[in-house]
């Protein structure tokens, strides 16, 4: 077993336990809690919390709130998936091989389950036990920016606007930096905040987050072409069929792979500024660009 | 001019200026900012921020962040209206005499404009200038609870579930305590936090918020029967036509008025625990239960 495998086998159940416990503790209508829990427990790679934990591993810090913060990020990620899948947005029936939230609970409850997850996450950050007040406020400020109009929400708007027109590579990059990069970068920065990292370390981690986020997204586009529906848990080839703006569409498949590898290399170079020895976070980064689902 | 009128004429433009400035400062796609601004500037009584300001008036405290916090609450209120109006929810075409957000911008942008407003509000609270860190975290924690699954989101779910069935008065009360009461109560509690009110004052204000919130909602139900479409800016009589669960439907019109007046009296009694002399907040409370729109 690689160290990444044992790392995931240790941490993923802890994150998922946090998710269940958090949802269970909410005093809310049963159907709402069920809908929130349905999408939270629908699998997923838990990439964002794992990056947070890998940053702490890199900086050799144990933090008792790490799983809680990781779970919070997963809640925000899940809210964005629920809303993105809605009929008025991407209109997806399946996600990770399971019916999407609105296909099970209807659109109204799906929208509200997303709203509930998003709103709850800020409360969790405000109540963290082992983080000082200033750091909690910094986490909340950065999450608000990453998740909101200046980040994910704005990125989704740009993505919608880019449908039915050709965009440039720069425009596509802006979409992805906001739509998916912002929350991944937040996860990495949150690790740095929990570890009370110094300015230079934090700057290197921010650069790492930027590049690994783009590499992650380019691999997503590549998988739509090279992956199978079974592996992906969603319809492969959908991007090509819908003439979606993707890196392979704009750069050819090989061009996209080159760009992915360039961002991956930049990400790894940033890590070397922090630690000369490759560590677990290197393995996680490599997994991100080599995954088949 | 009554003192309430001059109070409103002084504060409402300041709150609305805050709203415009906040939205203007966001770096986001133009259409998203337009959609957020469209609903924020669509009028409305600004009741929640006014209650916050009236609490500060009652406690004789000037606070430089009061308008900002008030604007934040108005953003959360506006997000909830945008989502509630969606076709999969209440399916309303008009709000305050203007087309609803999704009728102008489409469902996808409307959902995202709501998400953006909600997300942004937490960041604003985290960045307040004149509030100490612990108080900011308390505001964020309480707003998360008031707006989320344990408050507004949960109340909307209960409201949806109550369609096409008869509910008891207690069940109707639970819906409204969550759906509309929670944010109104938060506004009042936020005033107490900004004023650093002592425990007894805060308890009296919490009681006031609970009762005035219910009186406010009962009056809303009454206006659906007694108001005109022109005054309301939305279709009068819609609740009756759709056989919605309302206080008049469950208690008769007179019974609803009695209940409204009882909650109003309780609210005023709570204020008398803080100040023997009726003040501006009394006028605002009276306006809430006597308004015709």
What is the average per-residue pLDDT within B49-61? 98
Structural domain of B119: 3-290
A33 has a chain B CB within 8 A of its CB: yes
Using alpha carbons, select from B174, B201, B185 the residue that is nearest to residue B145. B185
pLDDT in tens, A17-53: 999 999 999 999 999 999 999 999 998 899 999 999 9
A126 and B137 within 8 Å at the Cβ level: the answer is yes
Lowest mean pLDDT among A215-229, B141-155, B182-196: A215-229
Restricting to B residues 115-134, those with a Cβ less than 8 Å away from any Cβ of A are: 115-116, 118-120, 122-127, 133-134
Number of domains in chain A: 1
Res B142: pLDDT: 98
Q: Is the pLDDT at B238 greater than 90, yes or no?
A: no
Mean residue pLDDT across chain A: 94
Local confidence band at B227 (pLDDT 50, 70, 90 cut-offs): confident
Average pLDDT over residues B110-122: 98
Instruction: In whole angstroms, give the CA distance from residue B192 to residue B72.
Output: 16
For residue B273, give how far its alpha carbon lies from the nearest alpha carbon of chain A (Å).
31
Which value does ipTM take for this structure?
0.96
Q: Is the pLDDT of residue A238 over 80?
A: no
HSE toward the beta carbon, residue B285, CA cutoff 13 A: 32
The confidence score (pLDDT) of residue B244 equals 85
Which pTM value belongs to this model?
Answer: 0.96
Look at B157 and A83 and tell me if their CB atoms are within 8 Å.
no
Asked if pLDDT for residue A232 goes beyond 70, the answer is: no
Of the listed ranges A254-263, A273-282, B225-234, the one predicted with least confidence = B225-234
∠ CA A68-A72-A75, rounded to 5°:
140
Q: How far is residue B114's CA from residue B126's CA, in Å, rounded to a whole number?
A: 19
Residue labelled with tokens 């309480």: B142
A284 contacts A4 by C-beta, under 8 angstroms: yes
Put simply, the answer to whether B29 touches A88 (Cβ < 8 Å) is no
Q: B125 to chain A: which residues are within 8 Å by CB?
A: 140
pLDDT category of residue B1 using cuts at 50, 70 and 90: low
> Is pLDDT larger for residue A166 or for residue A83?
A83
- Inter-chain residue contact B157 with A31, CB threshold 8 Å: yes
Closest CA to A172 of A242, A234, A256, A57: A256
Q: How does residue A1 score in pLDDT terms, banded at 50, 70 and 90? A: low
pLDDT value of position B186: 98
DSSP A181: I
Q: Supply the CATH number for residue A153's domain.
A: 1.10.600.10
pLDDT greater than 80 at residue A229 = no
**pLDDT higher than 90, residue B153:** yes
Whether B1 and chain A come into contact, CB under 8 Å, resolves to no
Chain segment B24-54, per-residue pLDDT in tens: 999 999 999 999 999 999 988 999 999 999 9
CB contact under 8 A, B140 and A122: yes
Interchain pair B145, A123: CB under 8 A: yes
For residues A194 and A60, the answer to whether their CB atoms sit within 8 Å is no
CB-based contact B86:B23 (threshold 8 Å)? no
Q: What percent of chain A is modeled with pLDDT above 70?
A: 97
Percent of residues, chain B, with pLDDT higher than 70: 97
Q: Report the distance separating Cα A159 and Cα A143, nearest Å.
A: 20
CB-based contact (8 Å) between A255 and chain B?
A: no
3-state secondary structure of B176: helix
**Which DSSP string do the residues of A94-123 spell out, in sequence order?**
EETTEE-HHHHH-HHHHHHHHHHHHHHHHH
Q: For residue A138, which residues of chain B lie inside 8 Å, CB to CB?
A: 126
Given CB atoms, is B26 within the 8 Å cutoff of chain A?
yes
C-alpha B129/C-alpha B240 separation (Å) is 47
Q: Calculate the average pLDDT of chain B.
A: 95
Q: In chain A, what percentage of residues exceed pLDDT 90?
A: 87
pLDDT of A241: 75
């Amino acid at each position: 077993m690689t160290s990444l495998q044992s790392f995931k086998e240790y941490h993923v159940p802890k994150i998922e336990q946090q998710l269940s416990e958090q949802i269970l503790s909410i005093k809310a209508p049963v159907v709402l809690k069920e809908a929130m829990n349905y999408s939270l427990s629908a699998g997923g790679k838990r990439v964002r919390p794992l990056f947070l934990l890998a940053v702490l591993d890199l900086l050799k810090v144990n933090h008792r709130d790490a799983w809680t913060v990781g779970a919070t990020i997963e809640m925000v990620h899940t809210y964005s998936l629920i809303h993105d899948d809605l009929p008025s947005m991407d209109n997806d029936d399946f996600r990770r091989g399971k019916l999407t939230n609105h296909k099970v609970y209807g659109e109204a409850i799906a929208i509200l389950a997303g709203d509930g997850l998003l709103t709850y996450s800020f409360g969790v950050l405000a109540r963290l036990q082992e983080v000082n007040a200033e750091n909690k406020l910094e986490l909340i400020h950065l999450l608000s920016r990453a998740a909101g109009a200046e980040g994910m929400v704005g990125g989704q708007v740009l993505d919608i606007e880019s449908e039915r027109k050709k965009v440039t590579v720069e425009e596509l990059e802006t979409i992805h930096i906001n739509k998916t990069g912002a929350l991944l970068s937040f996860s990495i920065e949150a690790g740095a905040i929990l570890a009370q990292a110094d300015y230079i370390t934090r700057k290197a981690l921010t650069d790492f987050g930027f590049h690994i986020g783009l590499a992650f997204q380019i691999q997503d586009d590549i998988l739509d072409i090279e992956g199978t529906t079974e592996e992906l848990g969603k319809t492969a080839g959908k991007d090509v069929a819908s003439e979606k703006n993707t890196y392979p569409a704009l750069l050819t498949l090989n061009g996209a792979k080159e760009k992915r590898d360039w961002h991956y290399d930049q990400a790894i170079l940033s890590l070397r500024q922090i630690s000369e020895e490759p560590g677990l976070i290197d393995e996680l980064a490599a997994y991100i660009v080599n995954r088949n689902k």
